[in-house]
Amino acid sequence: MANIGHYISGKHYEGKSNLNKPVFNPATGASETKVNLANNDEVNLAVESSKSAWKDWSNQPPLRRARVLDKFKYILDERREELAQCISSEHGKTHEDALGEVTRGLEVVEFAVGAPHLLKGDYTENVGSEVDSFNVRQSLGVVAGITPFNFPAMVPMWMFPIALVCGNCFILKPSERDPSPSLLIAKWLTEAGLPDGVFNVVQGDKIAVDAILNHPDIKSISFVGSTPIARYIYTTGTSAGKRVQALGGAKNHMVIMPDADLDMATNALMGAAYGSAGERCMAVSVAVPVTDKVADALVEKLVPKIEALKIGPSVDPAAEMGPLITSEALNKVSGFIEAGVDEGAKLVVDGRNRKPSMQGYENGFFIGGSLFDNVTKDMSIYKNEIFGPVLSVVRANDYKSAVDLIHGHEYANGVAVFTRDGDVARGFSNEIEVGMVGVNVPIPVPMAFHSFGGWKSSLFGDHHMHGMEGIRFYTRLKTTTVRWPRGQRTDPQFTMPTLG
């Protein structure tokens, strides 16, 4: 059985920890490879490699750094099929979904190529008599990213392109469940001309995570994952003096107003709730139809579409939804469905025990789409992030009840409203206490030149990801004040200096 290793100093590195875990193909349920797990020594090796590369890399003009990212962009664009196949083989998502992931990651690379403009500072002449002042943004040093299984290419590309082009060296700790895409990315960065050590990959589990969190030479950490782990990453990292952005869990609502285009809303819900088997932090897992009339009509339209969802492996071009990532994830989602029934919700469509029609995939971690109606806010299927293809319908009597429901949840990542009423749309956008809002858009993931992030328990830290927030996170501001006297001398000043 082949072993998947690390990538340090521009080459593959097997590691010496003798620790490993199986990597499964979720579509077959079989373990086809193993991933080597780092201990403190491997993390230290990666950090030393990055430290050695940082001084020269950070002193390169931003334009030269951008040119390396530009070459990587073209490689990524030309080989997107290869990366998508790599993603699907270990994650299980359909090929088209994997291609979409690559495209969204590529957009951040395209944004990062504009760094010579984005890193420009400010200059003020004569802030005082013969005194000028300017500021610049400088790199932090060695930074790290800890990324989840559900987007093994896109989420790292939310981080490292901006970190690198700002002059930092980056250490990536991907999920041990689908580790291979990170190695392809590392190889292509080297091919694009990135110097050895500027981008390193360390495979691992909690041992590697804790080594990263506590290493004194790592200046910042970016994380995407569940809220309990995000809170741990933020608390531990900031206690160690690091800058941390930690994106956590979500429970995203879609409000359907009585005047909404119901066919549009139904189709939007299908993609948002069941795409990527619901394993998205921006998946819509709660539909909030306003009035029972809207709810009844919505459920009636959803049922045949959910029952017709075609599940299958990525090699099946007709598949609309792939398997879950692991058998543990399958058991967890099935357990939530059982809990929903026990708590009194109406299970309208039960996706359990569905298998793909294609032979050879009977042991894969597949589950069909499920739909609950008459869900209430005290039920576990409403309160918790299920991270699977389960949609809950929570009925609201009126617009205010829908807004109050959303405001009462601990998560505030994404939200959507479907309506034809401009007043409702504008009011909702302004007053809703959620980080990302869609109006007739079910999954409002911002483009790369804007920034991604939620509120409340969905985000720990002050900075969202990519866009200008990414530039600010991966740099620190330095302001210089300059006086060039024309031969005159000044007396000592013992009061607070002023420049007027």
Q: How are the residues of the chain apportioned to helix, strand and coil, as percentages rounded to the nearest 5?
A: 40, 25, 35
CB 26 within 8 A of CB 365: yes
Based on the residue annotation, tell me whether 281 is a catalytic residue of this protein. Answer: yes
Tell me the residue type at 318: A
CB 454 within 8 A of CB 253: no
Closest CA to 274 of 338, 343, 364, 354: 354
DSSP class per residue in 320-347: SB---SSHHHHHHHHHHHHHHHHTT-EE
Q: Alpha carbon 301 to chain centroid distance?
A: 31
Closest CA to 391 of 285, 249, 268: 285
Helices 154-165 & 180-191, crossing angle to 10 degrees? Answer: 30
DSSP class per residue in 379-390: SHHHHS---SSE
Helix (H) or strand (E) holding 239: helix 227-239
Q: Would the CA dihedral through 436, 440, 445, 448 be positive or negative?
A: negative
CA distance 236 to 346: 41
b/e per residue 239-273 (b: at least 16 CB within 10 A): eeebbbbbbbbbbbbbbbbbebebeebbebbbebb
Phi, psi (rounded to 5 degrees) for 276: 55, 30
Catalytic residue among 86, 166, 169, 281: 281
CA distance 10 to 16: 18
What is the widest separation between alpha-carbon atoms in the chain? 89
Joined together, the tokens standing for residue 282 give: 């921006």
Could you tell me which residues are beta bridge partners of residue 249? none
CA distance 433 to 438: 13
Residue 476, number of CB atoms within 10 A of its CB: 16
Joined together, the tokens standing for residue 444 give: 């409002």
- Residues 6 or more apart from 386 whose CB is under 8 A from it? 278, 285, 332, 333, 336
Residue 124, number of CB atoms within 10 A of its CB: 11
Task: Supply the residues annotated as catalytic.
Answer: 281
